[in-house]
């Protein structure tokens, strides 16, 4: 077997992939006519229904980065990777819909930095916009790298060719249709991803004779290691492959990183802001939560099946030698194992669709934040609306070109998800503390918001650098010498968010707050929240939020 090219696409497979590329470009150019104003280009005219916004909300987080990265992470860490889909998503998505969306929507903000501008002023807004722009560029790069890995392993394509062709396709349709194009393509991609990615877990479980057969094979291939329990191994750091304790999962992941990502990361929040009314905006994340609970079955199961059926062991990306395969390559390896002509084309199209969804989310979010939160307030305050739309289109292409260079940064990490979670601990966890305090407490001041966010971000980056210089310090930051990179990320996120909150509270007590009149529409206690009066039980957001949380708890019990 040639390690650089495992299989070839048939004519049918090539036709399926080609039709997909033509379709997404066609959608982009068709929707260009509807993206004339800034509101249209950056917020899709605020005309999306709850279902469209909800599926786009989830699809923006279901790119090839997720498919490839979490399959690799589940091979590396076992079913513990599913925590990032359940406790690391569902409570936060419900919290966004019930608590935070009313403020985002009522204030008519175009982004999270836009909310910070209203609540704290230009200093905090500018800092969050810059850090977010940096993060989206780095995330775009790892999406490119993820897709290039698929093309290299499955098709034998040159990695540079794969990066440029795919990234230019995304750039063209997002630059043409803006968020309109991104959202409609993401809904299309959502269904393609599910239909294509479901093939591997179905065929894999047939080969292993179900879940119990898969577990038995994993135990035979990796004796002494527990890859298939969600919570029961988290009592001690040394009892699980991640070197994680339950406190890191509950507080670092559940309370900090996931809350920060799902409620303040503009890449996903932007989709909900495009909803047509406040009820649709509140319901969209809840709809997304139901689908999110099923995602581990298409992204985590392939990695577990790789542990069970692959005749060789995979290695970290940074340690892979010639002829070896890394954790990141488990999904392409499973594609090659199970899919024949026609089915392979569908599987590859699902991965390409995932790549497009992830890239489109990043570049459309970058274009909005750069244009509205950096360019307009700091570089050109007065210009025609058409000028800002043109700027959004041009910086979409520019952002893609820059992010191509960052694709190579991801190669220095053991797996893609180690890299991504490190970024979240730098930028997302501190931002959550700043936004949450600003929404809940009238006493929090503008200077406190800025200094708290700055302290949280710098402390997280500082802890990361410290461990790189002094590896033994991981036992201090992550509370155990057994902690792997992902566990370190969770604890670093926890400490950085607590530092942000502490600095914000202390500085607020020493400085003067804004008058309450200036906080209307921005803070609980100073804002009239619309009630869902007259709506039946089955139409109320809080009812479906309760159902989602109940189902979430059942899943924790099943896979304990």
Average pLDDT for residues 363-379, to the nearest whole number? 74
**Residue 444 pLDDT:** 92
336: which 2 tokens? 């090659």
The most confident of 27-36, 221-230, 376-385, 408-417, by mean pLDDT: 221-230
Q: Looking at per-residue confidence, does 80 or 19 come out higher? A: 80
The position carrying tokens 């509950």 is 250
Q: Looking at per-residue confidence, does 140 or 410 come out higher? A: 140
Average pLDDT for residues 391-402, to the nearest whole number? 73
CA trace torsion 123, 126, 127, 131 (10° rounding): 180
Q: Looking at per-residue confidence, does 229 or 9 come out higher? A: 229
What is the rounded distance in angstroms from the CA atom of residue 25 to the CA atom of residue 234? 47
Residue 139 contacts by C-beta under 8 Å, 6 or more apart in sequence?
65, 267, 358, 362, 420, 423
Task: Answer whether residue 280 shows pLDDT above 70.
Answer: yes
**Residue 503 pLDDT:** 96
Average pLDDT for residues 361-387, to the nearest whole number? 74
SS (H, E, C) 182-244: HHHHHHHHHHHHHHHHCHHHHHHHHHHCHHHHHHHHHHHHCCCCCCCCCCCCCCCHHHCCCCC
Helix/strand/coil for 1 = coil
Q: Looking at per-residue confidence, does 219 or 155 come out higher? A: 219
**Residue 196 pLDDT:** 67
Beta bridge partner(s), residue 326? 315
Share of the chain above pLDDT 70, in %: 72
Task: Answer whether residue 38 shows pLDDT above 50.
Answer: no
Task: Answer whether residue 3 shows pLDDT above 50.
Answer: no
| 46 band by pLDDT with thresholds 50, 70 and 90 | very low
What is the rounded distance in angstroms from the CA atom of residue 272 to the CA atom of residue 182? 13
Task: Answer whether residue 110 shows pLDDT above 70.
Answer: no
Contact predicate 409/424, CB 8 Å:
no
What's the predicted TM-score (pTM) here? Answer: 0.77
Q: What is the pLDDT of residues 301-323, one digit of tens each?
A: 988 998 999 888 887 766 666 66
Average pLDDT for residues 402-407, to the nearest whole number? 73
**Residue 556 pLDDT:** 92
What is the rounded distance in angstroms from the CA atom of residue 275 to the CA atom of residue 270? 9
Average pLDDT for residues 71-90, to the nearest whole number? 88
Contact predicate 215/54, CB 8 Å:
no
| 8 band by pLDDT with thresholds 50, 70 and 90 | low
Contact predicate 28/172, CB 8 Å:
yes
Average pLDDT for residues 262-277, to the nearest whole number? 70
Residue 513: how many other CB atoms lie within 10 Å: 15
**Residue 456 pLDDT:** 94
Output the average pLDDT for the chain: 78
**Residue 28 pLDDT:** 59
Helix/strand/coil for 275 = strand
What is the rounded distance in angstroms from the CA atom of residue 162 to the CA atom of residue 151? 7
Cα–Cα distances (Å) from 544 to 38, 285, 481, in that order, read 33, 11, 42
- Residue 513 backbone phi and psi in degrees, to 5: -80, 165
Cα–Cα distances (Å) from 505 to 122, 260, 322, 449, in that order, read 19, 18, 53, 9
| 514 band by pLDDT with thresholds 50, 70 and 90 | confident
**Residue 371 pLDDT:** 77
| 462 band by pLDDT with thresholds 50, 70 and 90 | very high
116: which 2 tokens? 């910070």
Contacts 24+ apart (CB under 8 A), 229-233: 229/79, 229/559, 229/560, 230/79, 230/80, 230/82, 230/83, 230/556, 230/559, 230/560, 231/556, 231/559, 231/560, 232/560, 233/80
| Region 11-558: CATH code | 1.20.1730.10
Q: Answer positive or negative: Cα dihedral of 273, 22, 356, 9.
A: positive
Gyration radius from the chain CA atoms: 23
Task: Answer whether residue 269 shows pLDDT above 90.
Answer: no
Task: Answer whether residue 179 shows pLDDT above 50.
Answer: no
**Residue 505 pLDDT:** 95
**Span between the terminal Cα atoms of the chain, in Å:** 39
- Residue 326 backbone phi and psi in degrees, to 5: -95, 170
**Residue 270 pLDDT:** 64
**Residue 495 pLDDT:** 94
Task: Answer whether residue 395 shows pLDDT above 80.
Answer: no
494: which 2 tokens? 């926890």
Q: Looking at per-residue confidence, does 63 or 337 come out higher? A: 337
What is the rounded distance in angstroms from the CA atom of residue 512 to the CA atom of residue 495? 27
**Residue 27 pLDDT:** 64
Task: Answer whether residue 453 shows pLDDT above 90.
Answer: yes
**Residue 41 pLDDT:** 44
Average pLDDT for residues 3-7, to the nearest whole number? 49
The position carrying tokens 């594609």 is 335
**Residue 171 pLDDT:** 64
Task: Tell how far CA 538 is from the center of its chain.
Answer: 29
* Choice among 134-138, 218-222, 281-285, 371-375 with the minimum mean pLDDT: 371-375
What is the rounded distance in angstroms from the CA atom of residue 114 to the CA atom of residue 136? 17
DSSP E strands, 305-450: none
Task: Answer whether residue 425 shows pLDDT above 50.
Answer: yes
Task: Answer whether residue 111 shows pLDDT above 70.
Answer: no
Task: Tell how far CA 21 is from the center of its chain.
Answer: 23
Contact predicate 548/87, CB 8 Å:
no
**Residue 360 pLDDT:** 65
What is the rounded distance in angstroms from the CA atom of residue 338 to the CA atom of residue 333? 9
Q: Give the H/E segment covering residue 376.
A: helix 376-378
**Residue 510 pLDDT:** 92
Q: What is the pLDDT of residues 203-249, one digit of tens each?
A: 899 999 999 999 999 998 888 788 888 898 888 888 888 888 899 89
Average pLDDT for residues 416-428, to the nearest whole number? 82
Beta bridge partner(s), residue 275? 48
What is the rounded distance in angstroms from the CA atom of residue 14 to the CA atom of residue 342? 9
The most confident of 15-24, 70-79, 456-465, by mean pLDDT: 456-465
- Residue 49 backbone phi and psi in degrees, to 5: -75, 170
The position carrying tokens 């989602």 is 548
**Residue 400 pLDDT:** 73
| 176 band by pLDDT with thresholds 50, 70 and 90 | low
Task: Answer whether residue 7 shows pLDDT above 90.
Answer: no
């Amino acid at each position: 077997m040639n390690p650089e090219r495992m299989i070839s696409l048939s004519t049918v497979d090539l036709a399926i992939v080609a039709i997909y590329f033509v379709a997404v470009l066609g959608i982009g150019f068709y929707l260009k006519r509807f993206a004339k104003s800034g509101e249209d280009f950056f917020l899709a005219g605020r005309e999306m229904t709850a279902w469209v916004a909800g599926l786009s909300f989830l699809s923006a987080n279901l790119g090839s980065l997720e498919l490839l990265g979490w399959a690799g992470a589940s091979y590396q860490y076992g079913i513990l990777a599913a925590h990032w889909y359940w406790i690391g998503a569902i409570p936060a998505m419900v919290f966004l819909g019930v608590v935070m969306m009313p403020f985002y929507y009522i204030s008519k903000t175009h982004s999270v930095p836009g909310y910070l501008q209203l609540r704290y002023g230009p200093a905090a807004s500018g800092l969050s916009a810059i850090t977010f722009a940096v993060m989206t560029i780095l995330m775009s790069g790892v999406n490119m790298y993820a897709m290039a890995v698929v093309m290299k392993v499955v098709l034998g394509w040159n990695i540079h060719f794969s990066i440029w062709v795919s990234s230019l396709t995304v750039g063209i349709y997002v630059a043409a249709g803006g968020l309109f194009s991104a959202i409609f393509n993401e809904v299309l991609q959502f269904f393609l991803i599910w239909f294509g990615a479901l093939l591997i877990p179905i065929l894999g479980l047939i080969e292993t004779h179900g879940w119990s057969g898969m577990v038995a094979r994993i135990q035979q291939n990796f004796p002494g290691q527990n890859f298939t329990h969600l919570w029961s191994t988290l009592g001690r750091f040394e009892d699980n492959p991640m070197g994680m304790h339950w406190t890191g999962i509950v507080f670092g992941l559940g309370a900090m990183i996931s809350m920060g990502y799902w409620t303040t990361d503009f890449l996903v929040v932007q989709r909900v802001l495009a909803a047509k009314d406040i009820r649709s905006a509140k319901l969209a994340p809840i709809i997304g939560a139901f689908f999110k609970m099923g995602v581990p079955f298409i992204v985590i199961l392939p990695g577990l099946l790789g542990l069970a059926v692959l005749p060789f062991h995979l290695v970290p990306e940074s340690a892979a030698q010639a002829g070896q395969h890394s954790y990141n390559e488990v999904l392409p390896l499973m594609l090659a194992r199970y899919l024949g002509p026609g089915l392979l084309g569908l599987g590859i199209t699902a991965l390409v669709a995932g790549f497009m969804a992830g890239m489109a989310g990043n570049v459309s979010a970058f274009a909005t934040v750069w244009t509205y939160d950096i360019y307009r307030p700091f570089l050109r305050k007065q210009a025609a609306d058409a000028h800002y739309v043109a700027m959004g289109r041009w910086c979409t292409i520019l952002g893609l070109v820059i992010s191509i260079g960052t694709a190579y940064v991801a190669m220095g990490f053991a797996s893609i998800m180690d890299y991504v979670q490190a970024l979240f601990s730098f930028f997302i966890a501190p931002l959550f503390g700043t936004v949450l305090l600003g929404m809940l407490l009238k006493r929090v001041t503008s200077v406190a918001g800025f200094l708290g966010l700055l302290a949280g971000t710098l402390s997280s980056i500082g802890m990361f650098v410290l461990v790189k210089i002094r590896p033994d310090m991981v036992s201090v930051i992550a509370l155990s010498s057994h902690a792997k990179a992902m566990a370190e990320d969770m604890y670093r996120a926890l400490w950085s968010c607590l530092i942000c909150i502490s600095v914000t509270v202390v500085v607020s007590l020493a400085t003067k707050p804004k008058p309450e009149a200036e906080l209307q529409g921005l803070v609980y206690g100073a804002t009239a929240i619309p009630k869902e009066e007259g709506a039946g039980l089955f139409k109320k957001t809080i009812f479906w939020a309760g159902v989602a949380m109940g189902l979430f708890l059942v899943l924790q019990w099943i896979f304990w």
